[in-house]
Amino acid sequence: MAEANLDMALAEAPARAGLATSRVPGVWRIAREFCRRRPLAAVAAVFIAIVLAAAIFAPALAPYDPNKQSLATVLQPPGMAHPLGSDDLGRDVLSRLIYGARVSLQAGVLTVFFALVSGVAIGLVGGFVGGYLDDVLFRVMDAVLAFPSLVLALAISAVLGQGLGNAMVAIAVVFTPQFARLTRGQVLAVKEFEFVAAARAAGASSARLALLHILPNITSPIVVQSVLSVAAAIIIEASLSFLGIGVRPPTASWGSMLRSGYGYIEMAPWLSVAPGLAIFATVLAVNFLGDGVQDALDPRRR
């Protein structure tokens, strides 16, 4: 009798396992549903993936060395040899555009990551602990927010000096208060919920309450803010490079390409059109993706 029951249980196990598995949406099912409901965000994600792939495989995709100068091809219009033309030093614009994607994505993704980590830490501590520590931390954050983002980034970059690393530090400082204030506001709301009070009554420590009970419940707005901040970081880095404070020559970046093409806007417009369109399309795609992520994570919009 026991063996019969065991055999029956083993026979029913695959069916139950398949039923349980079918209820769990897979990655492809989630991606397909996202594309169906938010096609614009899906197209934006594909475009960003193409830009990312171009940045990663730039040495294999670029037809020329981005820094190689040639007096024979100075200000050559777009053609078979140079699909996007050449600049005032004879360098291939397409190659520099591909390599410039590396700078823009580093400035966009890495700076937002550093700002995210520091801002969330400050906001979590200030919102959860409160009191004098909260007042001190967020008076400093308010002071940073009082300056326009680009002006503050310019000032910090001018103090630190020219270079991509210094520009990234400046952009990360600019964005840290935004994540800190967003995190603090979410913490102040969530820490009053009943499940937090129940965990505290059960003897959970302050660190456990903050990291395991509060932080997982405030990730949605932080993720959305992170995606949207990437677009703003790309614009600020391009602005710094355009003003000559960003990357050092001859490193290719979209902002420095705009700067070099500014003086030839009438006789060689392709020098400015290519990086300008690259910045425009990438920033627009990131914003569309951010809107799609916001819709996907907001239960009121599902």
Q: Which amino acid is at 263?
A: G
Domains of the chain as residue ranges with CATH:
48-62+83-301 (1.10.3720.10)
Cα–Cα distance for residue pair 255/272, rounded to 1 Å: 10
Collapsing DSSP to helix, strand or coil, 92 comes out as strand
Mean pLDDT by 10 residues, the chain (302 residues): 43 42 55 72 90 92 90 87 88 93 90 94 88 88 89 89 88 93 90 82 80 85 91 92 85 89 86 92 92 74 56
pLDDT value at residue 201: 81
Residue 166 three-state SS: helix
Q: What is the reported pLDDT for 50?
A: 94
Q: What is the model's pTM?
A: 0.83
* 187 within 8 A of 128, measured Cβ to Cβ: yes
* Residue 249, phi then psi, degrees to nearest 5: -65, 150
Q: Which structure tokens are listed for 194?
A: 């009943």
